[in-house]
Amino acid sequence: MWFAHVLTLSRIPIAVGFWWTYGDRRWSMALLALAALTDAADGAVARWSRRRTGITTPSAGEWLDPLADKVFVLVALAAVQHHDPAPWPLVALIVARELVLIPLATVYRLAVHGRGAHAFQAAAIGKAATVAEVAALAALLIYRPALPPLAILAGVLGVAAAGRYVVRARHVRRDAPLRSGPPT
């Protein structure tokens, strides 16, 4: 499982590298592709490790992966805005999921901390939103005319993913028995 966590955490230094290399399209695109590759690989490695070891309990990767994704996207967009600003409404669309989900997830975790299952497992809509965010970032780097439709797609998918988490959280909260003590 540790290798999956290393892959996940590698997105943070990749984001810093993205910031420092921004302006050189080849390096920026290579780092964007590397971040996307680590995002795809960490889940596969974690699933393989779970099957191999028989671990069935939740792992840190369930919250670490989305956190690393958000850090990467936010740092990459900050680099763009610092070096070569894009229109703010398009940037807001790209990060719509984070703008909606981060405050909701924070309140949710504070409200139900230690009280049962959580609703943050990855879903297809969330993965699609991440792909749309990466595509919009690529458009910022190499072909800005594609940015508006990709930003809109990222925004729509992002808000839909956030909505899915809210719906799932309500079901988990209603259906899960309360536990005393820290989560296992």
The tens digit of pLDDT for each residue in 109-141 reads 677 654 555 545 667 888 899 899 999 999 999
**pLDDT over threshold 80, residue 184:** no
How many residues does the structure list for the chain? 184
Overall average pLDDT of the 11-40 stretch: 94
Cα–Cα distances in angstroms (integers) from residue 142 to residues 24, 29, 149, 179, in the given order: 11, 8, 15, 50
Retrieve residue 79's tokens. Answer: 């680099």
What is the amino acid identity at position 153? L
Q: CB-based burial of residue 88 (10 Å sphere; 0-12 exposed, 13-18 middle, 19+ buried)?
A: exposed
Residue 58: what pLDDT? 57
Q: CB-based burial of residue 166 (10 Å sphere; 0-12 exposed, 13-18 middle, 19+ buried)?
A: middle
Domain definitions of the chain by residue range: 1-60, 86-184
Is there a contact between 92 and 110 (Cβ–Cβ < 8 Å)?
no
Element holding 127 (H helix, E strand): helix 124-142
